[in-house]
Amino acid sequence: MSSEIIFPVLYAFASAMPLVAAAGDAHSNPDTVVAAAAAADTVKGAVYDGRAHETDVRIPEIDTTIAIDGTLSAPVWERAAILKGFSEYTPVDGRPAEDSTSVYVWYSSTALYFGVRAYETHGHVHATLAKRDVIEVDDHIHFILIPFIHSRQALNFAVNPLGMQADGTITEGIITSGSFGLNTTTGPPPTDLSPDFVWDSKGHLTPFGFEVVVRIPFRSIKFPSKKIQDWGFNVTRRVQHSGHSDSWYPARIEAASYLGQTGALVGFTGLSSGLVLDINPFVTEKALGAPLVTDSSQWHYKVERPQFGANLRWGLSNNLLLNATYRPDFAEVESDATQLVLDPRNAVQYPEKRPFFLEGLEQFSVPNNLIYTRQISAPIGAAKFTGKAGPVSLAYMGALDDEGNISAGGLGHPAFNIMRLRQDFSQGSQIGATITDKEVGGTYNRLAAIDSRITFDRIYSVFLQAATSSARDAGVSGAGPLWQARLTRSGRAFVMDYNVTGIDPEFDAQSGFIARRGIVNAFANWRYTWYPTSPIFESYAVDVLLNPTWIYRNFTSAEAPEERRHKLNLLATLHGGWQIRFGLFAETYGYDPTLYNYYYLGHISGVDTTYTKFVGTPTIPNTDYVLTLTTPSFAKFDMSLTEVAGRDENFFEWSSADVNITQATLNYRPTSKLRAQLMYNAQIYWRHDDGSIVGKTLIPRLSLEYQLSQAIFFRVIGQYDAVYQNNLRDDARTNLPIFTDSAGTFVRAASYQSNTFAVSGLFAYQPVPGTVAFVGYGNNLTEPDGFHFSPIKRAADTFFVKFSYLFKSQ
């Protein structure tokens, strides 16, 4: 799709959309707004101005409880400490915030209370009745808490104007990579939304903006066992109509440590979590439907026996927590969206979604994914111990997996033991150690690693990691190292990032996730950003990336890299939150014989066929063009689009091909309760010589959610997976047909297609994390020709229910 079509259509669509919030966000005239704002801020508490660097907040202890009704009408709020003076953080840091925010803070012995008055005099508030952790398109407030004040991990509690919640953890030192070679080295680390804490919030829209009230019980979080303690703290606000993010602490983009830029809540005394003993029993039931083997026209259901399980959460102290579970797996509730496979040598990773493994998952965070809990596929039982012992964060997990997890039968149940230790020290630095062990029968896989992040001169960070593994399987032993060194320079204008990571072909992390072994990957990345005074641009940048990759043994022998990638990206952020990227990639890929060791060429002569080993052309040059467009989060919709076109490697036949890749997401919110998300992923390769399609994957996905209340929602998902592969041939050299060797039998790599349509529905009732009622249905259908829907055939379906209840100690 050309830019001549994309930009005018999107601009017209955006201009036509009424930028109004869900019900009740109509604004009064300016005089009324100012009068209401002045009356609302008549308070008696101490005021702390972030822009004046008044960031050590001594909040009052008030021995009372209040109803969380979304208003600041209770008299106790007049005695709260007040935070004002917010600064803009993105897209341009250091400026006074355009939208005024007042935050009220106090605490009792059992909970921490926040109240927010967010003023909006020149835009519109975006607010929907969103389900948990899905408020990113609304205006929202983040409360960032660091109970262990010098830790590089934080708790993040977020609410939208109606009090809908999102929560998770922030871990310093996690560097994310964007799509198609764009690295992210500045700004806040991503929030891991996996954990679900038990806390209260409520909010409402007002003539001057919105108000929200939050109560965070101390029993829901870990904190130091000290009589008097200080916590790291910050509040940020996302304003959707402008696309700006504001921060109470005057944080700067250029700093190497984001969590090092926080204020403090000082002088906490008498905090009590009480007895933390939660028991969460649950029961699941499934009925699996499939056609009879003897007669496919007849449908048969197998009703499984109910599966009972339970989770236990026991607070041994304020900062030590024990979790245990029996039969925790329940993966039907959240389905994975199928990802495109851009390089078959790299395995695809999917996130953890099981509640037991999600809680405290940040404690097991380690560079290079050396811990990946989805490797424990169907555990019978598991236990976790997480917390802090002095300055050291510690996490241990033990699990016994189901016997079906293993590839070789009859060896027993795999047993996992995983330990992670980490210590934070000055200026955002940390050191960590990891040990994992998987045992089954006479086989094992063991791993030990050490890693460190050291920041210096305020803007520089060094990341180091060294690991080694040893394994034995079927009497064969192996061992190998993994190592990484990375240097980053954060900056408002100039950013640089150098990295080299090596993974020995014998390195094996069966308790982790390694996308590709046996390589050394390096890159050097430079970015320069300008912040012009312009009616159009907030900022624009030039990003250059050099990315060579070696076969591991070639690197250690000082040979040339197997692959060379050179990438130039032009980036722009426009007023209102529009983001545009154009990328030009010049690459060369070297032939990897291990990927084609089962490929043979068929020499057909009369009735006889002889076979010779497939040998690919030594290198393939690529030239790709990337266009990415991201709209602001409008009140009714937002969308993102990435288009890749050009000359690329055809991994099917190891030759050059013309490629088109589309990744598009459209979110539409027609009402405050209804959400629709349309995703479309497509990948098509055309042979360059004759234009024939060698392979394509088309994956449209539609999700509809209706949030009846904060606790009840309905969801329907439809996803179509259409995969096609042509007859394979030696396209780059001889044009002979390709055969594959399977146990001494040569089989023609003939054309095929697979068309699967999956539909699922879910009713969910979840008043608090742990208390749930899920009723769901899933149906898989197939058809011979893609997107015809006639004839379409049921292949399998599933009915499932889950009920659980959280019993909490009082």
Comparison of pLDDT for 281 and 151, the residue scoring more: 281
Mean pLDDT value of segment 575-596: 93
Comparison of pLDDT for 678 and 430, the residue scoring more: 678
Q: Tell which of 210, 244, 269 closes a domain.
A: 269
- Per-residue pLDDT of 508-523, as tens digits, reads 999 999 999 999 999 9
Phi, psi of 114 (to 5 degrees): -130, 140
Q: What pLDDT does 37 receive?
A: 54
Q: How confident is the model at residue 33 (pLDDT cuts 50, 70, 90)?
A: low
CA distance 606 to 732: 25
CA distance 27 to 208: 7
- Per-residue pLDDT of 294-312, as tens digits, reads 777 788 888 888 989 999 9
Q: Per-residue pLDDT for 174 more than 70? A: no
Q: What pLDDT does 111 receive?
A: 95
Q: Per-residue pLDDT for 646 more than 80? A: yes
Q: Tell me which of 79-88, 338-347, 600-609, 629-638 is least confident.
A: 338-347
Q: How many other C-beta atoms are found inside a 10 Å radius of the C-beta of residue 791?
A: 9
Q: What pLDDT does 226 receive?
A: 87
Q: Per-residue pLDDT for 21 more than 50? A: no
Pairing between β-strand 263-269 and β-strand 619-630 as defined by DSSP bridges: unpaired
Q: What is the mean pLDDT of the chain?
A: 88
Q: What pLDDT does 710 receive?
A: 87
Let me know whether 68 and 164 are in one domain.
yes
Q: Per-residue pLDDT for 346 more than 90? A: no
Confirm whether 42 is domain-assigned: yes
Q: Per-residue pLDDT for 319 more than 70? A: yes
Q: Per-residue pLDDT for 556 more than 60? A: yes
Q: How confident is the model at residue 183 (pLDDT cuts 50, 70, 90)?
A: low
Confirm whether 105 is domain-assigned: yes
- Per-residue pLDDT of 129-150, as tens digits, reads 988 898 999 999 999 999 988 7
Let me know whether 145 and 129 are in one domain.
yes
Let me know whether 725 and 806 are in one domain.
no
- DSSP reduced 3-state for 361: helix
Pairing between β-strand 101-107 and β-strand 307-317 as defined by DSSP bridges: unpaired
Let me know whether 249 and 103 are in one domain.
yes
CA distance 807 to 810: 9
Let me know whether 667 and 688 are in one domain.
yes
Confirm whether 76 is domain-assigned: yes
CATH number for the domain that contains residue 239 = 2.60.40.1190
- Which neighbouring-strand residues pair with 112? 107, 216
Q: Per-residue pLDDT for 718 more than 60? A: yes
Confirm whether 715 is domain-assigned: no
- Which neighbouring-strand residues pair with 623? 586, 647
Confirm whether 384 is domain-assigned: yes
**How much of the chain, in percent, has pLDDT values that exceed 90?**
65
Mean pLDDT value of segment 537-565: 93
Confirm whether 746 is domain-assigned: yes
Q: Per-residue pLDDT for 645 more than 90? A: yes
Let me know whether 744 and 796 are in one domain.
no
Comparison of pLDDT for 757 and 743, the residue scoring more: 757
Q: Per-residue pLDDT for 7 more than 70? A: no
Q: What is the DSSP string of 90-156?
A: ESSTTSBPSS-EEEEEEE-SSEEEEEEEEE-SSS------PPTT--TTS-EEEEEEESSTT-SEEEE
Q: Tell me which of 128-142, 166-180, 190-204, 223-237 is least confident.
A: 166-180
Let me know whether 735 and 782 are in one domain.
no
Confirm whether 611 is domain-assigned: yes
Q: What pLDDT does 475 receive?
A: 80
Let me know whether 114 and 82 are in one domain.
yes
Q: Per-residue pLDDT for 694 more than 90? A: yes
Q: Per-residue pLDDT for 422 more than 60? A: yes
Confirm whether 537 is domain-assigned: no
Mean pLDDT value of segment 537-543: 93
CA distance 794 to 289: 10
Burial classification of residue 478, based on how many CB atoms lie within 10 Å of its CB (0-12 exposed, 13-18 middle, 19 or more buried):
middle
**How much of the chain, in percent, has pLDDT values that exceed 70?**
90
Tally of domains within the chain = 4
- Per-residue pLDDT of 429-442, as tens digits, reads 889 999 999 999 88
Give, in degrees to the nearest 5, the angle at Cα 291 between 286 and 296.
Answer: 175
This prediction's pTM = 0.86
Mean pLDDT value of segment 399-422: 79
Q: Per-residue pLDDT for 715 more than 90? A: yes
Q: What pLDDT does 10 receive?
A: 38
Q: What is the DSSP letter of 737?
A: B
Q: Per-residue pLDDT for 62 more than 60? A: yes
Q: Per-residue pLDDT for 737 more than 70? A: yes
Q: What pLDDT does 706 receive?
A: 96
Mean pLDDT value of segment 375-395: 90
Q: What pLDDT does 11 receive?
A: 37
Q: Per-residue pLDDT for 390 more than 80? A: no
Among residues 210, 260, 220, 123, the alpha carbon closest in space to that of 633 is found at 123
Pairing between β-strand 277-291 and β-strand 599-605 as defined by DSSP bridges: unpaired
Q: What pLDDT does 269 receive?
A: 93
Q: What is the DSSP string of 179-220?
A: TTS-EE-SSPPPEE-------EEEEEEETTEEEEEEEEEGGG
Let me know whether 363 and 501 are in one domain.
yes
Let me know whether 112 and 48 are in one domain.
yes
Let me know whether 35 and 56 are in one domain.
yes
Q: What pLDDT does 428 receive?
A: 72
Q: Tell which of 269, 300, 333 closes a domain.
A: 269
Q: How confident is the model at residue 160 (pLDDT cuts 50, 70, 90)?
A: very high
Q: How confident is the model at residue 339 (pLDDT cuts 50, 70, 90)?
A: confident
Q: Tell which of 482, 502, 517 closes a domain.
A: 517
Q: How confident is the model at residue 329 (pLDDT cuts 50, 70, 90)?
A: low
Q: Per-residue pLDDT for 758 more than 60? A: yes
- Per-residue pLDDT of 448-480, as tens digits, reads 999 999 988 888 999 999 999 999 987 888 999
Pairing between β-strand 752-768 and β-strand 745-748 as defined by DSSP bridges: unpaired
Mean pLDDT value of segment 487-499: 92
Q: Per-residue pLDDT for 44 more than 80? A: no
CA distance 93 to 90: 6
Mean pLDDT value of segment 329-350: 74
Let me know whether 179 and 60 are in one domain.
yes
Range of the domain at 287: 283-308+752-810
